[in-house]
Structure 1
């Protein structure tokens, strides 16, 4: 990788990191603001006074208006038969306008002590009050108990409310009522410092004379009685326009005002009553706000509005998550159980027993830890039709090919090719496979003895084009692996039952899947267009009209990542590849037939439950934490436990259907605190990568060879005879193109119609060159082919196409009685290990165990025993400008950069 590319990649990673931190900080800020402005409070009510040793007696015996500004202490009462109606805790969008309507009907003004958070949300109501002549006072921003806050917090409560009022009215207010305060004689040693502090800040504290106690909803008569002053005294009356149901307050107010007016009382505002008490002397309680204050007020209101909007969006998304989760759970319970009952019925049959021979393709890149166990389990299966195993060594550097060869299994071949990625290896394996039933297996996967037999039985139904097997986690000792075991059973296998019934299977797992050769031909082989080649191919099969089914009895044991980093890399690629595949097949939504059905049923299902639900699921955890600290923790805990119970119930059903032991579920609660969060971040990162168009490298996972640790299979499965090929595959050529058939591109058939893909593609490839043919047999004609090489001319080919199949040599030509080719004893011994095929390229194989073997050149017209086997001077891996067709065709559309990483698998 060039220095420029590395630098650009680091910058992009740094940019994504910074962007992620910024987004998380913004979300945290929004939640903090929302928690702050939504602090739960109770309506004001009178409380008994505490110790009053430091409270001046003139304050205790004085009036409800206390002026401590400029260091002096003065208190004032309203004149006789004067009432100032005051309303706390508003504005409220429901009750405040109705109270204002009653005041307007009786031509009365009042003083409203507002809560800042409510003003930011309902500034228009406050503006209407001010325009109507009502007075606005400060009642804190979040309505806390101020004596429990530090000084800077109290000042913040006052200043933020002031800014909210400025935004609504354009004026500052000097009137202040402390939350949970009452009459002047109730001021104690805890509250007196707050009164003094408010005066130093320029505020005029306002207490009450009469408490209507409407907050307790005692009834209309009781409210009117409580609000009535004693004798003819003047009074500041406390009522509420928010904080609960204010229906009684409105009814009492409509009765109280006419009643007091009949008794000769005058209704005024607090400042009006104070001016009357001072005989016309004005005390400033309101001032115009400056430009700087208005800017700050606008910023505050905007921040609260944005936080409210985002929180509302989160609530809607949370509701969507709940609906999706409940819907998915219900559908899974119904359809997955139905699927299991149907398949396990004694009368269930796919059709006549399938006993056609099977070719198993094992792409392997540096799989030395587990390749022997994997190949042994495949070659030793109990399938009666015969099993051919083709191990495609994809440029391994750890001796993977040599390990397979040393096993000396008679029905195993090793194909060595330059590194080109998993799709390329699979396509090469399909091209060299002898049979029409193809099983694809990862190199770290162990099969049970009957897995292949069960896996191919659905092919008795001619409409079935592919079969997904049941993947199990073999290494379950670590906590991370146990979490994945739960996920495999619930999230993968349970979902596949559902997809099977809906006939929209999105993914055949790379660990165990079977295909018809004709089905692969219909979709053009395994594509390199995405990082999830298994998902891409499965979607293409569904769109082509082939049924893709799930066979739970075909079980494969795979090695799951044992560390969080390895898990991260694997799931990052899976998630990103799935998004690529969905985007590639997005136009199927508008198609008709099977393609349209998959587009309109399968893609939305995957989008909602495979992407949207996991993306939104973090809201559950975020709101859980938010609720614990800023909401009712008891309700929050109950809701979270209910969600966990639903997951546990789903897990139990899934484990029962999959016949797994329930003891593994003890780690499910722990999974909620680590594993789920990791999957969230992986999916979010994948979405970010997809949206930015960045390339993602295929990360090679480190294996320990523990896939079969929990697999119920014998240590040494019985050997199965090699499947007798319908026609032997062979090829030998030179760059000089000495064989006329090789030059004209005449190829034998690897598929029923002799082609891979559409004829238009074939016509483009064919003229560029082909494969010369020949065969190398051992001393006995009945022996399988040992080693052969497949060099050919390279040719540019179009996208999305698999490699050209190798030639099949007719059985009529290679009869058992025909003399075998002469070959060196060092090459063709009866005891020679598994077959070895080397596909040449423009570079020498990366593995010393894949050294080139000269091929036997044999004329198609006749096979003479006296003809030399090969030219000793003709190497297979020559430094030529041409590349083997089997490699070039698959490699043409690899989604990787020019400068690949050391492992040659960057996308």
Structure 2
């Protein structure tokens, strides 16, 4: 973070990393949704449209279906094959195993692969204690309701899960949603045929009317009720033997050791299932936290903006104990290749009602006609200073050294000032504790969609964010487009630092740490030209965001300071960290989960939630437009802004963080001016048609209020809540 910020190759590996990360998160959500029957749902059984085949009417509970033939088998007399579906359950499986051990019985457990992965120790314990394991599909999907591809995946994953947890494979299958053989009707029979063709031995259960003494397969789940039923059955001893399915039939065990490769795949599957479950739960928490913070922020913006407006109504110049500021002003205009708009900027300054001006245009090594254009403006108040290209901060310091007056206004070379802007901007400096004042920036070229999006962004930022930050006494920036400063405050902190690319944010934070206050003057209006292409917008916001991160890092130690500086840092840096850095980082995850919810969960619920949040944002943006005297017709672009524009801003934050982490520097990048702001504004801010609407702005314009923390006091009078600065004549 040096002064020159040499141009280096921008990092690209982070995009691959983030793309892979978000793709993995999306895949984890899809897998979790698949196992929870939200994606490709197969939880409910379809009604049978055709009865079970006649061959099953007298068939036994164990079926081998292969090559078009149907063979069945039943348990020998006085033999009961105990079978348990689902699980393993962390509560009831251990109790059932203990009961079986006490009674000397064996059983077959048809396990869900997903549950076996979550409780692998129980899967291994089942085998260790002499029981048998069969498949119950991976997620409990009803195979007749599932697509053939899902049915095959369910069985394959179930096998891998058993291999990874218990180290075995099995040929036994109990299809979810089936009991006796006559329930294998319709789609279930077709699914049974496909499974039989893959070599599985299908196990159903005998009808309850069959006496245990004749030999049966009994089916239970893993619950308290099943535990009680099994306990009664075992203690009744209506059979000679309680055993597994294969042992009852006298055939080789269905469980065989799994190959090493399949065990590794099973362990990977188990890990993936655990990770996807954690991601899904984490996504819910992220959605709740980010949504809650976003909603809270919107509400706080409106509340504090209202507080700010009420201050305007109570404290205004003209009160007996207040005076206005009419001192001469030096205006600094740094310029680099600004031939398109520099003339309009200077002329708007010359048209100011505050005529005591010194206008210094600092040319930062322009290669176009910028200098020639300014020199051709016939007004002695305008001076041109030339320097080699050194950056915006150096240009401002060069102009500051030549400033003749105690009040300095900084303006960008693409900014058009309203005639009253400078006079209103400097009024808060009547109070000795205020060192800097931010003006109100409006978008001049707002006709295109990109311009409208930025217009809404600027309107909300100035009329909501800046008002709130002033009330909380933690304004972290004075925008370079329009800001007023005490020259003594600037000189006291060493001028404009070249340490960061966000020299305006760095300067405001430095002034706060020096004991000065920074406030917002909503009636001081300037019009700026915003980027007209996505590429230019990206470059501009990239530099702003990266510079802000630099400033936050530079002033992080202020969090530990006391007094005004510490209070400012704790509020401002926390706000920037949470809402300008943290939320944009997590916002893509929220979008992924929101899209997932709309596609696979309750789409009505997801739509209502999104519509509610959109309605809140529209209401807040409408209030911001009203405070700024703007037309409400701009609100139609807000839904599109949320869907497209904000995603771009999220990516800008990610790119800026990656730049900060990898240590890549940037130069003072400027956007290519097109003059569209001047064109759309008509080129003359004195024209009444270009003045903003007064509708909805009554009471918000006029000269600045000088209330608590602002304004000039009569001799000996104090304002509650204002602490003098720690340095200079205000200490």
Q: Is 1:311 matched up with 2:280? A: yes
2:338 is matched with which residue? 367
> Are the equivalent residues in 2 in contact too, given 1:115–1:141 (CA < 8 A)?
yes
1:203 is matched with which residue? 200
> Are the equivalent residues in 2 in contact too, given 1:456–1:514 (CA < 8 A)?
yes
2:298 is matched with which residue? 329
Unmatched tracts of structure 2, length 5 or more: 689-726
1:781-811 CA-to-partner distances (Å, cap 9, x unmatched) read xxxxxxxxxxxxxxxxxxxxxxxxxxxxxxx
CA shift, 1:419, in A, is: 1.7
1:343 is matched with which residue? 312
Q: Give secondary structure in 2 for the equivalent of 1:205.
A: strand
Of 316, 325, 328 in structure 2, the residue corresponding to residue 357 of structure 1 is 328
Q: 1:105 to 1:588 in 2, by over 3 A?
A: farther
Distance of 1:9 and 1:441 partners within structure 2:
29
Distance of 1:95 and 1:42 partners within structure 2:
27
Distance of 1:379 and 1:588 partners within structure 2:
40
Distance of 1:538 and 1:163 partners within structure 2:
60
Q: How does 1:360-759 map to 2 (within 5 A)?
A: 360-383=331-354, 386-708=356-678, 714-715=684-685
Q: Give secondary structure in 2 for the equivalent of 1:672.
A: helix
Distance of 2:682 and 2:45 partners within structure 1:
74
> Are the equivalent residues in 1 in contact too, given 2:132–2:255 (CA < 8 A)?
no
Q: 1:122 to 1:639 in 2, by over 3 A?
A: farther
Q: Give secondary structure in 2 for the equivalent of 1:607.
A: helix
1:60-105 CA-to-partner distances (Å, cap 9, x unmatched) read 4201210235875311123455544433332344555566566667
Larger deviation: 473-482 or 400-409?
Answer: 400-409
Larger fraction in helix:
2
> Are the equivalent residues in 2 in contact too, given 1:380–1:717 (CA < 8 A)?
no
1:409-458 CA-to-partner distances (Å, cap 9, x unmatched) read 33222222222111111111111121110000000011111111110000
Q: Give secondary structure in 1 for the equivalent of 2:629.
A: coil
> Are the equivalent residues in 2 in contact too, given 1:448–1:711 (CA < 8 A)?
no
> Are the equivalent residues in 1 in contact too, given 2:48–2:187 (CA < 8 A)?
no
> Are the equivalent residues in 2 in contact too, given 1:60–1:186 (CA < 8 A)?
no
> Are the equivalent residues in 1 in contact too, given 2:79–2:243 (CA < 8 A)?
no
Q: Give secondary structure in 2 for the equivalent of 1:367.
A: coil
Q: Is 1:58 matched up with 2:32? A: no
Q: Is 1:236 matched up with 2:210? A: no
Q: 1:487 to 1:268 in 2, by over 3 A?
A: farther
Larger deviation: 176-185 or 76-85?
Answer: 76-85
1:525-549 CA-to-partner distances (Å, cap 9, x unmatched) read 1111111110110110111110000
2:247 is matched with which residue? 275
1:19 is matched with which residue? 17
CA shift, 1:394, in A, is: 1.6
Residue-pair matches, total:
683
CA shift, 1:193, in A, is: 4.1
Q: Give secondary structure in 1 for the equivalent of 2:283.
A: helix
Unmatched tracts of structure 1, length 5 or more: 211-226, 242-248, 719-756, 759-907
TM-score, scaled to structure 2: 0.86
CA shift, 1:351, in A, is: 3.5
1:339-398 CA-to-partner distances (Å, cap 9, x unmatched) read 1211233656794100100111111111122112211111111126x1221111222222
1:109-163 CA-to-partner distances (Å, cap 9, x unmatched) read 5433222222222223333444444432211123334346565543332121111
Distance of 1:45 and 1:399 partners within structure 2:
75
Q: How does 1:789-800 map to 2 (within 5 A)?
A: none
Q: Give secondary structure in 1 for the equivalent of 2:441.
A: strand
Larger deviation: 398-407 or 262-271?
Answer: 262-271
Q: 1:666 to 1:80 in 2, by over 3 A?
A: farther
1:31 is matched with which residue? 29
Distance of 1:637 and 1:46 partners within structure 2:
28
> Are the equivalent residues in 2 in contact too, given 1:120–1:301 (CA < 8 A)?
yes
Distance of 1:204 and 1:313 partners within structure 2:
40
Q: 1:107 to 1:68 in 2, by over 3 A?
A: same
Q: Give secondary structure in 1 for the equivalent of 2:353.
A: coil
Q: Give secondary structure in 1 for the equivalent of 2:86.
A: strand
Q: Give secondary structure in 2 for the equivalent of 1:407.
A: coil
> Are the equivalent residues in 2 in contact too, given 1:471–1:493 (CA < 8 A)?
no
> Are the equivalent residues in 2 in contact too, given 1:106–1:257 (CA < 8 A)?
no
Of 264, 268, 271 in structure 1, the residue corresponding to residue 238 of structure 2 is 264
Distance of 2:375 and 2:44 partners within structure 1:
88
> Are the equivalent residues in 2 in contact too, given 1:379–1:388 (CA < 8 A)?
no
CA shift, 1:261, in A, is: 4.5
Q: Give secondary structure in 1 for the equivalent of 2:378.
A: coil
Q: 1:475 to 1:167 in 2, by over 3 A?
A: same
Distance of 2:287 and 2:179 partners within structure 1:
41
1:782 is matched with which residue? none
CA shift, 1:170, in A, is: 1.8
Of 224, 228, 249 in structure 2, the residue corresponding to residue 250 of structure 1 is 224
Q: 1:266 to 1:374 in 2, by over 3 A?
A: farther
Distance of 1:438 and 1:9 partners within structure 2:
34
1:170 is matched with which residue? 167
Distance of 1:396 and 1:705 partners within structure 2:
17
CA shift, 1:204, in A, is: 1.1
> Are the equivalent residues in 2 in contact too, given 1:360–1:387 (CA < 8 A)?
yes
Of 180, 194, 197 in structure 1, the residue corresponding to residue 177 of structure 2 is 180
TM-score, scaled to structure 1: 0.70
Of 97, 116, 121 in structure 1, the residue corresponding to residue 118 of structure 2 is 121
CA shift, 1:628, in A, is: 2.3
Q: 1:125 to 1:368 in 2, by over 3 A?
A: same
Over the residues paired in the alignment, what is the CA RMSD in angstroms?
3.1
> Are the equivalent residues in 2 in contact too, given 1:376–1:717 (CA < 8 A)?
no
1:836 is matched with which residue? none
Distance of 2:468 and 2:160 partners within structure 1:
56
Distance of 2:198 and 2:270 partners within structure 1:
23
Larger deviation: 432-441 or 644-653?
Answer: 644-653
> Are the equivalent residues in 2 in contact too, given 1:90–1:114 (CA < 8 A)?
yes
Q: 1:42 to 1:696 in 2, by over 3 A?
A: closer
Larger RCO: 1 or 2 (CA < 8 Å, sep 6+): 2
1:163-185 CA-to-partner distances (Å, cap 9, x unmatched) read 11122222222211223333212
1:554-607 CA-to-partner distances (Å, cap 9, x unmatched) read 111111112211111111111111001001111112223333223322211211
> Are the equivalent residues in 2 in contact too, given 1:440–1:511 (CA < 8 A)?
yes
Q: Give secondary structure in 2 for the equivalent of 1:695.
A: coil
Distance of 1:628 and 1:45 partners within structure 2:
21
CA shift, 1:460, in A, is: 0.5
Q: Give secondary structure in 2 for the equivalent of 1:507.
A: coil
CA shift, 1:707, in A, is: 2.7
Q: 1:162 to 1:149 in 2, by over 3 A?
A: same
